[in-house]
Amino acid sequence: MTLNLPPLSAIRAFEAASRHLSFTKAGDELGLTQAAVSYQIKLLEEKLGFAVFERKTRKIDLTQKGALLAEGVVEAFSRLRQTFQDVQDADASELVVSSNTTFAVNWLASRMFSFQMQNPDIAVRLVSYGPWEKPKFDQADVTISACYPPPKGNLFIPLIAAEFTPLVAPQLAQGIGGINTPADLLKLPIIDPDDPWWRTWFSAAGLPDADLTKWPTSRMGSQALEANRAIAGQGVAILTPYFCRQALQQGQLIQPFDLVCAEEDESWALSYPPRNKNSRKVRLFQDWVVSELGRDGLHCPEAVLIGSDD
Amino acid sequence: MTLNLPPLSAIRAFEAASRHLSFTKAGDELGLTQAAVSYQIKLLEEKLGFAVFERKTRKIDLTQKGALLAEGVVEAFSRLRQTFQDVQDADASELVVSSNTTFAVNWLASRMFSFQMQNPDIAVRLVSYGPWEKPKFDQADVTISACYPPPKGNLFIPLIAAEFTPLVAPQLAQGIGGINTPADLLKLPIIDPDDPWWRTWFSAAGLPDADLTKWPTSRMGSQALEANRAIAGQGVAILTPYFCRQALQQGQLIQPFDLVCAEEDESWALSYPPRNKNSRKVRLFQDWVVSELGRDGLHCPEAVLIGSDD
DNA sequence: GTCATGCATAAATTTCCCTTATGCATAGAT
DNA sequence: ATCTATGCATAAGGGAAATTTATGCATGAC
C-alpha cells in the first residue's frame, strides 16, 4: 500500500510522453518546454533505476519496462481525469443555496421558478436555516444571510436593508379605535415581544421603557410566521416592510407609523466563498437575484471582499 | 482528454486524507506535516470550487462531492502504485548485462552459472554486442566494455588490462622451425591483420614497418573467433593472454614472446549508470565479477565516477 | 475547569521545477 | 556531400509553490 511513488510531476510527464512518444509534444500538451519534460523523464529514470525510453536519433521509444509502466500510468491518469470531470460536471449542474427561512419563504420561494426557467441546466437545492442556526456558509455554493457576517475572505453583496417597523392587521387596529401613537401598540398583543427589534423601535419612537414583558415569549423565528399571525389579527408584529409588500398592498396589513428602524450590520446579504468567484452557476444566481431586486426598485452595491472575521 | 487536473500534490494529499479521514494521519503517511495537508486540501478546494471535506470539530468528513472524488482518486492511485510495484519487481528480478562478444564468450559464459546459483532470484539476460557496435550502455543495467568509454556520470570499474601479444598454435610454430624473432611471425598467416594491435605490437617489437598487407582482411571482430582460428593452426593471432589461459595451459596455443603490449585507455571495464548505484542486482553482479577475477589473481580498483565524456 | 486533540493560518524558508540558452546528433533535402 | 531542420540533452538561473514552524482556536474528554 505504502509504496513510495516517484515524483508525481515526473509521472505526469511520462504519461504524456508515453502517449506522444515525443518530449516536445508532451511538453506542448502539458504547457511545458521540451527541456522540462526531458528533465522529468530523466528524474523518473533515476528514481526507478532503469530507462523508460530508448533514445533513438530523432525519436524515442518506450523500453520494455517503460511500456509496462505506460500502460498502467495512462490508465490511472485517465481514471483521474474522468473522476474530476464527473465531479465537476455534477458540481456545475447543482447550485446549493443556503438561506435563512425568512428570505427563503418571503422572497426566494416565489421567484425561484423564474431562475429555473432561465437556467434549466442548473438544479437548485435550497438549504434553509432557522433563526437560531448559523448560515451554512461552507456547505452551500452561495448563502443569503442576515446578522451573521460571512467568513473572512468571502465575497459579499448587501441586498436588502433589514428595516423594521410594526405592522398590524387593519381590523385589529380598528378594534382599538385606530393606532395613533406608539403607545397604542401596547394595547395589542405583541407578537414575539423578545425580538430585540421591538426595543430598538420603541426607543426610537420615544418609548424606551415600554413594558413588553406581559406577553408570552413565543419567538417564531421567522418573519413569515410572524407575518401570518399578524395578518390573522393575532397581534402586532415588527417586520420588514419589503417582505410584506404584498400584504401591505392588498390591505392585509397596515403600517401605522412611518418610523422605520434598522439595526447596524443587520441586512440581508448574498455571499459566497472566494473559490466561487468564477463559478458560472453562482454568477448566474447572483445576477438573477440582483436583477429581481432591481425590478422591485432596489439596487445593490458591488460585491466586496470581507476582510475581517469579527 | 485534456482536462486540466488540479495540482497533483493536492490530489495526492486528498487521496491520503480521504483514506484516513484525518489530515494529521495523512501527513504522517506522506511524510508531511498536518499543516501541509491542510494547505493542499484548501488549494484543491479552491481549484475545484467546492469543499471536499466537511470540517467537524475534531474530525473531518468527506462531503458528497468529496466522496465521489475520493472513490476515483483512490482507485487511480492504487493503480499507479500497483503499476510501479509490478515494474519494479520485474526490474529487480532481471539483470541485463551488455558485454562485448569477446568477454561474453571468453569469460562470462563459462562462469555465469555460478552467479545464477548464488542468486537464483535474478534472471540474467546477456546482450552482447559485436566489435563494430557500441556498447548498449543505456539498454543494460550493467555493461562490460573495452575501448568505449562509458557515458559521463557512469560508475566505472577497470577489470582487466587489455594486454595483447601474438599467440600461435605450437604445431604451426614448429612448421616454420620455431619462432625466434618477431620477424618470424611474418612467415605465418596473420589472422586479422587490420587489427591495430598488430601495428602497436610490431612497433614495440622493433618492426614498425612490418608489411601486414599481404593477407586478406578478415576481421573476425571477436577474440573468441580469432583464438579458435589460431588454435586450429590457421595463423597467428594477436590476443589477450588472460582470455586464452586455458588454451595456453593446455598447450593449444603458445606465446612466442614475453612482449605484451597494452593500448592506452583500452581495458575491459564494468560500468553502469549512476541510477544503478544502489541497485541490489547490480551490486551483486559487480561483487561477483570482482570475486571471480580475484580467484584468477586479478584485483580490481574501486569504482570511479566518469567525469568527462571524451 | 483543565487538558489534549485536531484543524486553520501566517510567515519564512526551502525545494525543486521550469525556462532560457545552448550543444549535439542525424534524417532529410538540395 | 553538404546543409538544414528536427529532436533530445544539459547547465545555469530564477522563481513559484510546497513545506515547516509556530501559533491560534474550538471542543471533547477527564
Give the A:B interface size as CB pairs under 8 Å: 126
At A30 the pLDDT is: 94
Segment A51-88, tens digit of pLDDT? 999 988 888 999 999 999 999 999 999 999 999 999 99
Nearest to A54 among B68, B90, B139 (CB): B139
Architecture of domain A92-310: 3-Layer(aba) Sandwich (3.40)
Contact A256, A185 (CB under 8 A): yes
- Class of domain A8-91 (CATH, top level): mainly alpha
Average of pLDDT values for B112-120?
Answer: 94
Find, among B264, B279, B286, B277, the residue nearest to B149 by Cα: B264
At B77 the pLDDT is: 97
- Class of domain B8-89 (CATH, top level): mainly alpha
Contact B149, B306 (CB under 8 A): yes
At A209 the pLDDT is: 84
Q: How far is residue B204's CA from residue B260's CA, in Å, rounded to a whole number?
A: 9
Q: Is B9 within 7 A of strand D by CB distance?
A: yes
Give me the residue spans of the domains in chain B.
8-89, 92-154+269-305, 163-263
At B53 the pLDDT is: 94
Determine the number of helices (DSSP H) and then strands (DSSP E) in chain B.
12, 9
At B117 the pLDDT is: 95
Find, among A116, A92, A79, A143, the residue nearest to B71 by Cα: A79
CB-CB under 8 Å, B12 with A8: yes
Q: How far is residue A128's CA from residue A126's CA, in Å, rounded to a whole number?
A: 6
Share of chain B above pLDDT 90, in %: 46
Which residues have CB under 8 Å from B223's CB, separation 6+? B102, B105, B106, B237, B239, B240, B243, B244
Minimal Cα–Cα distance from B29 to chain A, Å?
Answer: 8
Contacts of A285 in chain B (CB under 8 A): none
Specify the CATH superfamily of domain B92-154+269-305.
Periplasmic binding protein-like II (3.40.190.10)
Q: Hey, which of A93-102, B116-125, B207-216, B266-275 has the most confident mean pLDDT?
A: B116-125
Q: Is A52 within 7 A of strand D by CB distance?
A: no
Find, among B84, B41, B77, the residue nearest to B62 by Cα: B41
Contacts of B62 in chain A (CB under 8 A): none
At A308 the pLDDT is: 40
Average of pLDDT values for B200-217?
Answer: 83
Q: How far is residue B90's CA from residue B86's CA, in Å, rounded to a whole number?
A: 6
What 3-state class would DSSP assign to B103?
A: helix
Q: How far is the CA of A142 from the C1' of D20 (A)?
A: 34
> Would the CATH topology of B92-154+269-305 be identical to that of B163-263?
yes
CB of A177 within 8 Å of a chain B CB? The answer is no
Which range is least confidently modeled, A44-58, A138-152, A221-235, A259-273? A138-152
> Alpha carbon of A38 to those of A6, A24, A43, A109: distances in Å?
15, 9, 9, 58
Average of pLDDT values for B82-92?
Answer: 93
More reliable by pLDDT, A130 or B228:
B228
Segment A193-227, tens digit of pLDDT? 888 888 899 999 898 887 877 776 655 567 777 88
CATH of B163-263, one of 3.40.50.720, 3.40.190.10, 3.40.50.300, 3.90.45.10: 3.40.190.10
Segment B27-75, tens digit of pLDDT? 999 999 999 999 999 999 989 989 999 988 888 999 989 999 999 999 9
Find, among B24, B32, B16, the residue nearest to B77 by Cα: B16
